[in-house]
Amino acid sequence: MTLLELEHVDVFYRDLQATFDVSLTVDEGETVAIIGANGAGKSTLLRTMIGLTQCRNGRIRLAGEDVTRLRCDLLARRGVALVPEGRRLFSSLTVEENLLLAMARARKGPWTLNRVYDLFPAMKEFRSHRASDLSGGQQQMVAISRALLTNPRVLLCDELSLGLAPKVISEIYACFDGIRKEGVSIVLVEQDTVRARSASDRLYCLLKGKVRLAAKSSTVTPEAIREAYFGETRA
């Protein structure tokens, strides 16, 4: 069952066009990765999916409903959640306050404070710390938990591994099974193509705002990815 659909989406960032005629789908329970170099348009696409940026042309559908012009907070209430690039926790609030805020307008669902503390047991130690006092990895746990607490149908993750140590990144990705078990769809924007491939069911590769490759993660070849990523063909 298709949950999220983008059809021929053009997004502009000020006067520059960031995406050109992008179409992609995410099914229920699926994990889809979007990979590509810096500036390929990946983050802009996520912003459009949650309504922070409006696309100029194209359609976006959530569970069949046309949500192209829907305001961000309404989209959030319909079940789209964002783990933003750079975490972007509310720095003057504590960890627990960040989480409580997410629960205030949440949909009904399985995610509760106890569930996210089960998912990231380490969070219990720093639950009353200010968000700005945390390390990158700790912030990432909180950012993911905050998004999950809204009980989303689709979770958008923007560059989870940015600025984090490999061990920390592995721990973060290890929790994905727990998230997937609840049937949450995940859209994963990643620069690390190996991780993206191993964590997803399907992937899209963007180059300069266009979809260059759409493939199943288990069968796609590294060559195909390289070609789509860099836009070159090997002789």
Partner 1 sequence: MSFLPTILNGLMVGGLYGLFGLGLAFAFGIMRIVNIAHGEFIVLGAYIGASLLSVTHLPLPVVIVLVAVITFALGWALQTVMLNRMIGPNPVPAMVATMGLSIIIRNALVQYYGADIRAIDIGPLQDQGVSIFGTSIGVLPIIIFCTAVLLFVLMHLLLTRTTLGRAFRAAADDFEILETLGFNRKRVYAIAMGLAVTLSAIAGLLLAIRSSYSPYSGVERLLISFEVVIIGGIGSLRGSFLAGLFVGVVQLIGLRINPNSGPLFGHLAFFLILLAKQANLPALFLRRRT
Q: Residues in the site for partner 1, rule: CB under 8 A?
A: 50-52, 71-73, 76-77, 81-82, 84, 88, 90-93, 97-98, 100-102, 104-106, 130, 146, 150
Q: Measured from the CB atom, is 35 or 75 closer to partner 1?
A: 75
Return the structure tokens found at 203. Answer: 């992937």
User: Which of 8/71 has CB closer to partner 1?
Assistant: 71
Q: Compute the distance between CA of residue 102 and CA of residue 17 in angstroms, rounded to an integer.
A: 32
Q: Give the H or E element holding residue 154.
A: strand 154-158
Cβ neighbours around 168 below 10 Å, total: 17
Shortest Cβ 179–partner 1 spacing (Å) = 17
Minimum gap (Å) between residue 146 Cβ and partner 1:
7
Residues 6+ apart with CB under 8 A from 124: 117
Strand partners, 81: 155
> What is the closest distance, in whole angstroms, from the C-beta atom of residue 217 to partner 1 in the complex?
27
Residue 159 to residue 55: CA distance in whole angstroms: 21
Q: Which is nearer to partner 1, 55 or 82 (CB)?
A: 82
Nearer to partner 1, 49 or 119 (CB): 49
Least distance (Å) from partner 1 to the CB of residue 222? 34
- Smallest distance from partner 1 to CB 196, Å: 22
Q: Which is nearer to partner 1, 147 or 179 (CB)?
A: 147
- Residues whose CB falls within 8 Å of the CB of residue 139, separated by 6 or more in sequence, listed in order: 87, 89, 131
